[in-house]
């Protein structure tokens, strides 16, 4: 039994919570039935008798509110995009799967005709003729090719922006181009790389083209009213799904947008803390080598209250999005198209070197095996040039890879953060579109990662997957597609590994493991309160476990109470 701080005072009375089970993820005491909390910290765990003995003469009160529940460490949303999640979820969702939200369910669109019918219906239901129609969820392999002429047929006067399911592409109708100044003069100013990732004649922009056109659209897409509504959605949604800590590696680098997010997420009563990680791509593009770190450190002042930027961490981008099939592959796509680089290779190399030499932990967005090879080559070159211990370089997303690359990840000391929803959403379709069964089925080869004992975490990258840690665990443990097929069963992971991946391993990937991620004396009292134990429940039932709410730094936060506010 751990020792207890004897400095407790009457003004900070210790509360002992009892539960049906407490899954601590503390290797010295993995299962407990009582946890003592003082202020925002855990002071003891064990059986009720053990906790009472540890507290001795220190005053405490026993609270049985969780006696019929299972307490697990507070869920950590390791990689999400609150602004993108909130804006997309408040748009007209016409996607490849059903989206069940608190206020509405958006059923999937199954083909091209169904997609256009839904989009036309959404437009006809709008009353303000000048209001922007923003729709998210389109995917060419599910819905067929999309032409600007089809959008113009839906409306020649209302601006329409189609946000691809990947969130890395935009399609504009002619009215949107006119409103936002997307014209030949603007297009002529783009870099060669951005032009190569644009189809100006069809109003289609992806990856670097998407980054180029984005600033023209953001003023209306991300106006104050939309952002406030988006953040309020995110607060409720993530709390309802048991999240106590969230992080966004590499969001939009805009101080006004950050302030708008802080206005909601930074409030003292926010149900979770949210951390941001700098977008190194934007910073190194704008500044000289010797200015990059100073400009990055300026972001540390951008958080307020319950939001903050994590120091000495940065996000870089390798290849394109899995949902766009823009990842860089070693073997060609089956339909002959090519992948894309989100950062030109010399730019990536420069950016990685600057942050590596400054001692930063580098999170790298990478989806294809050729993209991963480039990232691992860059990591190895920098390790040999300037050796570092415990660098925790994070391989983010990890869609298509090869088994020998898993061995190399371990050898180089990198860690992995994956989206386990990729095979669930995409494997069945990608088996015959762009890939083939072997590469489609083995996307996110977590089984190999777990067997190699590489630290790994799970993320939703919302809106790329529902921001529901229990659902992510279910996806990683079962690998059952939306169509009901089991794909690459050898890549399934253990239930304990899945729970660790949304708690202690997620904390480790953010360098927060000393403060959170397990239920141990001295750590923050962050708990998620469940109706059942996700480690022992039937694997197929993990996603159906009910969530009572959370405890955030000692503060009880029932879901029902929050939803009524």
- Report the number of secondary-structure helices (H) and strands (E) in the chain: 23, 23
CB 168 within 8 A of CB 320: yes
CA atoms within 13 A on the CB side of 346: 1
Residue appearing with tokens 């980054």? 211
Distance CA 179, CA 371 (A): 36
354 CB contacts (<8 Å, ≥6 apart)?
284, 289, 292, 293
Distance CA 258, CA 245 (A): 18
The pLDDT tens digits along the chain (565 residues) read 344 544 444 458 999 999 999 999 999 999 999 999 999 999 999 999 999 999 999 999 999 999 999 999 999 999 999 999 999 999 999 999 999 998 899 999 999 999 999 999 999 999 999 999 999 999 999 999 999 999 999 999 999 999 999 999 999 999 999 999 999 999 999 999 999 999 999 999 999 999 999 999 998 999 898 999 999 999 999 999 999 999 999 988 999 999 999 999 999 999 999 999 999 999 999 999 999 999 999 999 999 999 999 999 999 999 999 999 999 999 999 999 999 999 999 999 999 999 999 999 999 999 999 999 999 999 999 999 999 999 999 999 999 999 999 999 999 999 999 999 999 999 999 999 999 999 999 999 999 999 999 999 999 999 999 999 999 999 999 999 999 999 999 999 999 999 999 999 999 999 999 999 999 999 999 999 999 999 999 999 999 999 999 999 999 999 975 554 4
Residue environment code for 131-153, b if the CB has 16+ CB neighbours within 10 A, otherwise e = ebbbbbbbbbbbbeebebebbbe
CB 327 within 8 A of CB 319: yes
For residue 103, the model assigns a pLDDT of 85
For residue 10, the model assigns a pLDDT of 42
Distance CA 348, CA 24 (A): 40
Residue appearing with tokens 């032009």? 195
**Reduced to 3 states, what is the DSSP secondary structure of residue 488?**
coil
Distance CA 226, CA 219 (A): 10
CB 202 within 8 A of CB 162: no
Tell me the Ramachandran region of residue 326: left when phi exceeds 0, alpha when psi lies from -120 to 50, beta otherwise: alpha
For helices 421-430 and 469-478, the axis angle rounded to 10 degrees is 50
For residue 12, the model assigns a pLDDT of 84
Distances (CA, A) of 408 to 371, 372, 401, 411: 14, 10, 11, 5
CB 244 within 8 A of CB 512: no
**Reduced to 3 states, what is the DSSP secondary structure of residue 477?**
helix
* Residues making up the chain, counted from first to last: 565
Q: Residue 185's CB: how many other CB atoms inside 10 A?
A: 7
CB 200 within 8 A of CB 172: no
Distance CA 100, CA 292 (A): 42
For helices 345-357 and 289-297, the axis angle rounded to 10 degrees is 60
For residue 4, the model assigns a pLDDT of 52
For residue 1, the model assigns a pLDDT of 37
Q: Which two tokens stand for residue 419?
A: 């989206």
Terminal CA-CA length for the chain: 40
């Amino acid at each position: 039994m751990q020792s207890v701080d004897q400095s407790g005072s009457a003004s900070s009375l210790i509360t002992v919570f009892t539960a049906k089970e407490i899954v601590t993820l503390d290797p010295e005491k993995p299962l407990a039935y009582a946890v003592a909390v003082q202020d925002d910290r855990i002071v003891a765990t064990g059986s009720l008798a053990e906790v009472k003995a540890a507290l001795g003469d220190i005053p405490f009160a026993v609270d049985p509110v969780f006696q019929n529940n299972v307490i697990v460490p507070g869920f950590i949303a390791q990689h999400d995009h609150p602004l993108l999640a909130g804006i997309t979820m408040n748009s007209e969702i016409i996607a490849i799967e059903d989206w069940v939200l608190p206020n509405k369910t958006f059923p999937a669109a199954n083909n091209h005709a169904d997609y256009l019918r839904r989009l036309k219906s959404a437009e006809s239901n709008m009353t303000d003729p000048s209001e922007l129609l923003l729709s998210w969820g389109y995917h060419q392999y599910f819905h067929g090719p999309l032409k600007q002429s089809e959008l113009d047929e839906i409306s020649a006067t209302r601006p329409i922006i189609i946000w691809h399911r990947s969130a890395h592409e935009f399609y504009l109708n002619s009215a949107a181009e006119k409103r936002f100044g997307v014209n030949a003069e603007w297009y002529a100013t783009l870099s060669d790389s951005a032009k190569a990732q644009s189809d100006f004649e069809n109003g289609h922009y992806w990856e670097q083209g998407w980054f180029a056109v984005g600033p023209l659209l953001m003023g209306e897409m991300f106006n104050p009213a939309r952002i406030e509504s988006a953040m309020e959605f995110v607060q409720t949604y993530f709390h309802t799904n048991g999240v106590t800590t969230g992080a966004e590696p590499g969001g939009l680098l805009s101080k006004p947008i950050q302030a708008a997010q802080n206005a909601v997420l930074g409030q003292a009563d926010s149900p979770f803390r949210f951390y941001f990680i700098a977008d190194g791509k934007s910073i190194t593009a704008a500044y000289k080598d010797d200015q990059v770190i100073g400009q990055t450190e300026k972001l540390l002042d951008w958080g307020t209250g319950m939001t903050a930027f994590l120091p000495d961490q940065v996000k870089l981008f390798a290849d394109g999005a899995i949902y766009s099939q823009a990842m860089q592959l070693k073997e060609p796509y089956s339909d002959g198209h090519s992948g894309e680089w989100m950062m030109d290779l010399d730019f990536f190399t420069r950016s990685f070197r600057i942050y590596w030499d400054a001692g930063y932990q580098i999170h790298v967005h990478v989806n294809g095996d050729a993209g991963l090879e480039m990232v691992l080559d860059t990591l190895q070159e920098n390790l040999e040039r300037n050796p570092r211990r415990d660098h925790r370089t994070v391989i983010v997303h990890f869609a298509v890879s090869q088994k020998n690359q898993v061995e190399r990840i371990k050898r180089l000391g990198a860690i992995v953060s994956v989206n386990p929803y990729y095979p669930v959403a995409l494997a069945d379709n990608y088996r015959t579109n762009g890939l083939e069964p072997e590469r489609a089925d083995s996307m996110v080869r977590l089984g190999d990662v777990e067997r190699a004992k590489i630290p790994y975490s799970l993320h939703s990258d919302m809106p790329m997957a529902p921001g529901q840690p229990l659902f992510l665990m279910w996806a990683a443990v079962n690998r059952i597609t939306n169509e009901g097929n089991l794909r690459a069963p050898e890549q399934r992971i253990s239930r304990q590994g899945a729970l660790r991946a949304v708690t202690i391993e997620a904390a480790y990937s953010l360098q927060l493991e000393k403060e959170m991620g397990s239920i141990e004396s001295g750590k923050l009292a962050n708990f998620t309160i469940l109706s059942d134990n996700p480690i022992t429940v039937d694997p197929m039932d993990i996603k159906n476990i009910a969530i009572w709410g959370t405890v955030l730094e000692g503060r009880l936060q029932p879901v029902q109470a929050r939803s009524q506010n």
